Amino acid sequence: MRFWGAILLAMVAVPAQAERGTVVVVGGALADDNADVYRAMIKAMPADAPDVVIIPAASGIIGRSVPRAAKAFAAHGVDPARIVTAHIALVDDPDTPDVDESRWNAGGSDPAEIAKIEKAGLIWMLGGDQLRIMAALIKPDGSDTPMLAAIRKRLDKGAVIGGTSAGAAVMGEHMIGCGSPEVALTAPVSRDFKDCDGKAEDARDVPLVLGRGLGFLPGIVFDQHFSQRARLTRLVRAVACIEADAVTGIGIDEDTAFVFDIGHETGIPVGRGTITVVDPSEGHRSCDNAVMENVRFARFPAMKE
């Protein structure tokens, strides 16, 4: 595992940081019985912080997605009494008539919800719509909400920050808001997330939209459901068009995780699929027509924990 981890780390070139926590990025469709991924997350939790906090902000089906996630963590050894939900969301789940989750829209500044984060050993972001996560955790002026500030502090103290699908998309410094792989190489690229409004993330003819992520891993842009939705062209164009001195693209298959231990500067793929890395650090890239020269591509099979 360390051999592969060293190779993957060299490819992604994440800068060393002071944080000692772990970031776990899951490509979506995480099976409840995927013991390797759940074990990797739970094993990385600080011994003195047994709480798992679920952040459902991305989800539109909170009444189903939260209980399923909680049941899966419990099945892999987490005490159910230590699994809590942060009340932070933007949309109501019509299947929960007794609860209006849209009233959780101020959760990012609610002291009671932030207190949950401050005791967390693992903070888990559900799938759905990544733009909802950004809107829930980032203030209109672009600064962190108190909840996001608390999440960063927990990472600094050794906690695990993880997410699946939409929860994976937000983990890097850069983020894909939406975009169809079919037109990713040729259509104009937008830097305004409003261009994703009302559109399925990769519906046919939706142009690529890029912006900032939550930045837990600097210099990285993630793409999820990678092989299953044939998103290589989308990731290549994103890497070509992100306006930064250095950027690396990582595509993560479903039921697969990229587990990055910041303190040990080691990243490994875990689960049942593969991870694809697009590294332009020794080449040239241009957004126009997605021109890329001397770019390294690598595909790593997931390892067993």
- Residues serving a catalytic function are 165, 225, 254
Q: Per DSSP, what are the bridge partners of residue 222?
A: 250
Q: 46 is written with which tokens?
A: 């600080």
Angstrom distance (rounded) from CA 125 to CA 232: 24
Angstrom distance (rounded) from CA 8 to CA 269: 9
| Region of residue 147 (phi > 0: left; psi between -120 and 50: alpha; otherwise: beta) | alpha
